[in-house]
């Protein structure tokens, strides 16, 4: 749902067609402040669902430990056993104790850094 002014000065309300989600519907109003008000009132009267964020935000980031284990699992078939063992050791001994319980999107240069 949105209100727009066309180049010729007319006001319109545009929204998705409830019957066919792939198409938009437009309702045309006249030119001038009175028609802008009417278009905004029509827009407000359309009771569609509100905006829903589709991508997860920073508050729902996976933990670094979860990503590290998923990476190890994904690489298991494509790397040598010794390489896998060394990578697993480095993660368990050094990285996971420092960053394991940190949300992945919150990791910066300063996180886990010791002076």
41, 76: one domain: no
> 81-90 and 64-75 are packed helices; what angle lies between their axes, rounded to 10 degrees?
170
64, 96: one domain: yes
| Domains: count for the chain | 2
**Residues of the domain holding 13:** 2-45
In a domain, 114, yes or no: no
In a domain, 111, yes or no: no
Residue with more model confidence, 1 or 25: 25
| pLDDT value of position 109 | 81
Confidence of residue 112 (pLDDT cuts 50, 70, 90): low
- Among 53, 67, 73, smallest CA distance to 103 is for 67
In a domain, 113, yes or no: no
In a domain, 78, yes or no: yes
- What is the four-CA torsion angle of 111, 92, 84, 86, rounded to 10 degrees? 90
The pLDDT tens digits for 5-55 are 999 999 999 888 777 778 888 899 989 889 999 988 888 887 665 666 666
Instruction: Please state, as a whole number, how many other Cβ atoms lie within 10 Å of the Cβ of residue 68.
Output: 19
The pLDDT tens digits for 50-98 are 666 666 665 678 899 999 999 999 999 899 999 999 999 999 999 999 8
Q: What is the DSSP letter of 22?
A: T
In a domain, 38, yes or no: yes
| pLDDT value of position 105 | 81
In a domain, 52, yes or no: no
């Amino acid at each position: 749902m949105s209100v727009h002014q066309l180049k010729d000065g007319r006001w319109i309300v545009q929204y998705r067609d409830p019957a066919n989600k792939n198409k938009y519907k437009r309702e045309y109003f006249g030119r001038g402040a009175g028609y802008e008000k009417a278009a905004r009132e029509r827009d407000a009267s359309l009771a569609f669902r509100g905006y829903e964020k589709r991508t997860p935000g920073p508050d729902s980031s996976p933990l670094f430990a979860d990503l590290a284990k998923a990476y190890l699992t994904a690489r298991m078939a494509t790397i040598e056993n010794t390489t896998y063992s060394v990578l697993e050791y480095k993660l368990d001994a050094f990285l996971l104790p420092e960053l394991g319980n940190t949300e992945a999107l919150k990791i910066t240069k300063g996180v886990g850094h010791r002076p």
